[in-house]
Amino acid sequence: MLQTENRTAFDENHAIFRDQVRKFFDRELHPNLNRWEEEGIIDRDFWRACGEAGLLCPTMPEQYGGLGADFGYNIIIDEEMTYAGSSAGLGLQSDIAADYILAYGSEEQKQEWLPKMISGEAIAAIAMTEPSTGSDLQSIKTTAKKDGNHYVINGSKTYITNGQNADFIILVVKTDPSLGAKGISLVLVEATREGFGRGRNLDKIGQHSADTSELFFEDVRVPITNCLGEEGLGFAYLMSQLPQERLSIAAAAQAGAQRAFDEAVKFTKERGAFGKTVFDFQNTRFTLADLAAELQVGWAHLDWCITRHIAGELTAVEGSAAKLWHSEIQWKCCDAALQLHGGAGYMNEYPIARLWRDARVQRIYGGTSEIMKEVIGRSL
């Protein structure tokens, strides 16, 4: 269990909510983790149960069915879910997609989608990455061309979280390919639209229970009113939401690092070698001591970021730095913890194996570590 007594970003109400999240996960998440890993997808019943428990989009206003809470509540869910060893795509729905609709959507779009997202009736995906483009969003080729009062969309996306389950997609498109970044728009595409297709559920190294898909758009017609915000401002919208997205990843990374560390301490104190426990070897204790110190720094930094973000002060550079540092420390902790498990660490029956696999992508999605360094470097 995560030790949260000395956290500075949370108050008593947060603590009560965290206790509720833990009890819910004990009942609804932990018993299903292994099955979801094998099946490669999360049951929709779990999404609806999360909605009933108030675990989806808690920051959304009460008028749409949300709790009207601060972002600390989202962070609690992110931390507890990752510490539990789950890669369910709740964070994408609650921390990213819902805020795009709240910030840029028309009242009609908000009324249509937010209540359903909060209840778990509707699952959202955001489709940015394409087979030929990664972090360079300005190079996307998916187009939305006007035809009367409709867009006609053609293109494909890949590595899309919630792709198999998604009821609608926030799609990044070029509405005017000649304008570069200023020609990028966000368009809502319902999964029921003719011409929309899902590819296979992608076979990933880790995060097996998170459905991740290819999506295809062949002459998909959607009304012009499906444009999210103003046409041509999609790139600006994406950039403005990045600090929160990267903070969400940082929080999950820190919790994953802590769980890996806790597993290593537990295992090394129980496993015997040469007449004593593995923990009794100086190398083991020094390795763990180094990780413990870095985790201490990490929790303090994370709380600083959370506090700044809730106050509306976290900058894009600070969010990038948080994503960089915490995802890198997650990998360091997971890899060191697996090493301390010895051969057992390579066995899927031990939690560290899943934690190690799931951690690897954290340094890639949401902006690679290299891109984070570019963002930070350009601000110097």
Residues marked as catalytic: 245
3-state SS of 272-288 is EECCEEHHHCHHHHHHH
Directed axis angle between helix 234-270 and helix 71-83, to 10°?
A: 40
The residues, any chain, with a CB within 8 Å of residue 231's CB and separated by 6 or more, are 175, 185
Query: 6 exposed, middle or buried (CB, 10 Å; 0-12, 13-18, 19+)?
Result: exposed
Please give the backbone phi and psi of residue 189, each rounded to the nearest 5 degrees, phi first.
-125, 120
CA distance 45 to 90: 13
> Residues 176, 101, 206, CA angle at the centre, nearest 5°?
90
Encoding tokens for residue 377?
């470097």
Type of residue found at 285: R
CA distance 134 to 114: 29
Q: Are strands 168-174 and 150-161 parallel, antiparallel or unpaired?
A: unpaired
Signed CA dihedral, 317, 90, 113, 216: sign only: positive
**H helices then E strands: how many in the chain?**
12, 9
Give the number of C-alpha atoms closer than 13 A to the C-alpha of residue 161, restricted to the C-beta side.
17
CA distance 133 to 129: 6
